[in-house]
Chains A and B, each alone.
Chain A
Amino acid sequence: MDSPFPKSSSAPGEGRILARLLPNGVSGLSAITYQYPLKLIAPSRPSETKSVLVFLLSYGGGLVAGDTMDLKVNVEAGAKLSVVTQGHTKIFKSATPDIVTRQSMHVHVASGAALCLLPDPVQPFEGSVYEQTQVFKLAKDATLCLLDWVTQGRTARGEDWSFVRWVGRNEVWATGDGSGAGTDRLLVRDAVILDGGPRHPQLNSLRESMHAMGVVGTLLLRGPLVKSLGEFFVSEFAALPRLGSRDFRSDEAKAKAESDASSPLERWRAGRLEMEKESKLLWSAASVRGCVVVKFGAPAVEAGRQWIGSMLAQEGSISEIFGDYALLCVK
């Protein structure tokens, strides 16, 4: 009987995904290989065909000290690839700080192609040492939707940014026009360095410097297919109520304004703002060098998930373009 899982490649932790547009106009995989501890699963009979879906997993649901995962992804012209995970990526404790657990991903997205990478957050355990590098090379008119988020650890065990070190770096490059004249240009480099190691006595501890946030994340958007999504984040950010403003209206005027705010978007926004306030979620959005970068942080991981899920669902284009399953991890 044929194994439902793709064949393994040779080096430990290495993997490769090659997505292309099939003749029938549907995105498919022309190659998918992986090696322990990396595991990739492509459901063989997808219920939707808007994009091809790959689960990015690891054996045992996490990375133990010293594990290295190195994934290369190619999305060929016109193809659409969605990558999700199944639960938090757990990073286990390292015996000594020089044993680094690494995950790297190198992605090429061809012209007119699209990658949607909305995984669960990384959950570094106490004592873990982790470095993650994700490099995205985008051709002209290529689309990228990338979420990268990290949590404080296992709160049930009292972990609160108790790891040794966590470094996450995301780079978005625009590739040359292929004529050989243009070289790759770095558009955005989003790097977060969280160091729980010894520090100058004047500095707050890592936990204090996180200011009670339990999860922090970045959403990076670039390309024609997420243009409307990017504009949505920027306009919602601009529509945030001004901090420190005071409402001088009478109670009746307020009640009337509330009942007047009857458009579905306004009602949704009012609910979301209430939720942001209650969960103490902070976020900002900026349009930078042709990309939209959204930063957010919340004391509770689930509040962060609910917020990003709500934003993506409300705007709707991710599910329309990549299919509902692309949003599996943010529901």
Chain B
Amino acid sequence: MTNPDFATEGNSDENELEQEIADLERRLAKAKARRNTRSQSSELNPLTTPSSAGLQLSPISTSANHFLLLLSDSALPLGSFAFSSGLESYLAHTKAGFHGAGHPPATSPAPFASFLPLSVSAHASATLPFVLAAHRDPSTASLAALDDALDATIICTVGRRASVAQGRALLSIWERSLSAALGPPSSAVAAALQPFSALLKNPHKTDPPPVSAHLAPLFGAVGRLAGLGPEQTAYVYMLGHVKALVSAAVRAGMFGPYQAQKTLARPGVQGLVAAMVEREWKTPVEKAGQCVPVMDLWFGRHEVLYSRIFNS
């Protein structure tokens, strides 16, 4: 059984933390340099107005961090709350007796403690390489190829529905809201996803269609365009999955909001997400795959549930 306390934390986290601190310090120095070279004219950011000129800017106000916070916000209208990533189906199956000997009944926090790491591991092995690859090369050709390859890999109707719905939502958020903040509409950054979007919207002759707009590659590309580093993008992508799962558990009545925050805050989750990012750091997309076969079954069988509150 899993360790329900999520109590352990590996050395890799400390290294990660060290790296992050070094990274943030570098960013701080850059931001200060930028501030010094800039004119004192008031910018959009109230922190840079003359009245607060004496204030020490904390690294959190850099543009990348700002977007990091936006992309990790649960108010980001991705519709993630509509998907349980197989949790609902898993609960229904364990309840109906489709669980192996030694597995706990679905009436305690134990099943979630068992499901969470499985789901995070499966999600990472199947999709994280696509996030990282799109971050490395967010060009339209690369993004379209990654999207098509991922579409061939997610061989489950329910999983595809979830991935495509969130991917399209992210593309809309980028087009309608985020891109304008990064430059005028004609700038390279703001227009970067336009050809991809056109590919998606154009009537297509091929079957299957050229692109479907899955979440993972688009998330990688948006992360890159917003100035996030690959680690940050991967981390916030995986954390988004954990948050969606925890939120689904609350909505499914498995536990309340305090337990939810407790689960999220535990060093165990932090360590797990970091370990998954590390595990998939160098995985080429051709080698992405399912590492929890039974997850495919729960996911796919979401369709045969009598009552559903989630779309996956």
- By the criterion CB–CB under 8 Å, are B153 and A189 in contact? yes
Number of interface residues of B (CB under 8 A): 59
Query: What does DSSP make chain A's interface, helix, strand, loop or mixed?
Result: strand
- By the criterion CB–CB under 8 Å, are A282 and B98 in contact? yes
- With both chains docked as a complex, state the minimum distance between the C-beta of B278 and any C-beta of chain A, in angstroms: 9
Task: Digitize B22-52: 1 where CB-to-A-CB distance is under 8 Å, 0 elsewhere.
Answer: 0000000000000000000000000000000
CB contacts (< 8 Å) of B296 on chain A: these are 284, 295
- With both chains docked as a complex, state the minimum distance between the C-beta of B76 and any C-beta of chain A, in angstroms: 26
Chain A positions 168-182 with a Cβ under 8 Å from a chain B Cβ: 169
A210 to B271, CA, bound (A): 23
CB contacts (< 8 Å) of B307 on chain A: these are 244
CB contacts (< 8 Å) of A191 on chain B: these are 153, 287-290
A286 to B304, CA, bound (A): 12
A86 at the interface (CB under 8 A from B): no
- By the criterion CB–CB under 8 Å, are A202 and B293 in contact? no
Task: Digitize B268-312: 1 where CB-to-A-CB distance is under 8 Å, 0 elsewhere.
Answer: 100110011001000000111111111011111101111100000
- By the criterion CB–CB under 8 Å, are B297 and A212 in contact? no
A201 to B69, CA, bound (A): 28
- By the criterion CB–CB under 8 Å, are A212 and B291 in contact? no
Chain A positions 189-237 with a Cβ under 8 Å from a chain B Cβ: 189-195, 200-204, 208-213, 216, 237
Which one of B1-9, B191-199, B222-230 contacts A?
B1-9
B100 CB contact (under 8 Å) in A189, A213, A243, A287: A213
CB contacts (< 8 Å) of B151 on chain A: these are 289
- By the criterion CB–CB under 8 Å, are A186 and B149 in contact? yes
Number of interface residues of A (CB under 8 A): 47
- With both chains docked as a complex, state the minimum distance between the C-beta of B187 and any C-beta of chain A, in angstroms: 33
Given contacts A244-B305, A282-B297, contact A293 B155 (CB under 8 A): yes
CB contacts (< 8 Å) of B6 on chain A: these are 202
- By the criterion CB–CB under 8 Å, are A212 and B103 in contact? yes
B72 at the interface (CB under 8 A from A): no
- By the criterion CB–CB under 8 Å, are A289 and B208 in contact? yes
- With both chains docked as a complex, state the minimum distance between the C-beta of A327 and any C-beta of chain B, in angstroms: 24
A88 to B114, CA, bound (A): 32
Given contacts A203-B272, A209-B118, A245-B306, contact A290 B208 (CB under 8 A): yes
CB contacts (< 8 Å) of B272 on chain A: these are 200, 202-203
Task: Digitize B111-143: 1 where CB-to-A-CB distance is under 8 Å, 0 elsewhere.
Answer: 000100110010001000000000000000000
- By the criterion CB–CB under 8 Å, are A299 and B152 in contact? no
B157 at the interface (CB under 8 A from A): yes
- Chain B residues engaging chain A, CB cutoff 8 angstroms: 1-3, 6, 8, 10, 92-93, 95-103, 114, 117-118, 121, 125, 148-149, 151-153, 155-157, 160, 207-208, 268, 271-272, 275-276, 279, 286-294, 296-301, 303-307
